[in-house]
Structure 1
Amino acid sequence: MSGELLTTKQIKALKEHKYSAQGSSLCEPVMQIFWKWLVEQIPRTWSPNMITLIGLLMNVVSSAVLMLYNPDGLHESPRWVYVMCASGLFIYQSLDAIDGKQARRTQSNTPLGELFDHGCDSLSTVFVMVGCCISLKLGQEPMVLLFEICASELCFYMAHWQTYVTGTLKFGMIDVTEGQFTVIFIYTICAISPGFFDNTLPVVGVPLRYLCALGSWLPSMYFIFKTSQLILQGGVGKNKSTVAVAHMTKSEMHLLDWSLLGPMMLFMNQYFNSKFNEYILLWIVFIYSLQNWLTYNYNVCREICAHLNIYCFNITEKPNGERKTSDKDK
Structure 2
Amino acid sequence: MFCTSMLDVAEGFGVPSYIYFTSGAAFLGFVLRAQELHDQSKELAELAIPTLKHQLPRKVIPSSFLNKEWASVVHTMARDFRKTKGILVNTVKELESYAVDSLSSGENNTPKVYPLGPILNLKAEKSDGSIQWLDQQPESSVVFLCFGSMGAFNAEQVKEIACALEGSGHRFLWSLRRPGQGAWASPTEYEDVSEVLPEGFLDRMREVGRVTGWAPQAAVLAHRSVGGFVSHCGWNSTLESLWFGVPMATWPMYAEQQFNAFLLVEELQVATEVRIDYRTESGEIVSAEEIERGIRSLMEEDCSRKTRMKEFSDQVKGALMDGGSSSCSIVEFFRDVSSAGDV
Query: Which TM-score applies when normalising by structure 2?
Result: 0.30
Greater relative CO (CA pairs within 8 A, separation 6+): 1
Query: Which TM-score applies when normalising by structure 1?
Result: 0.31
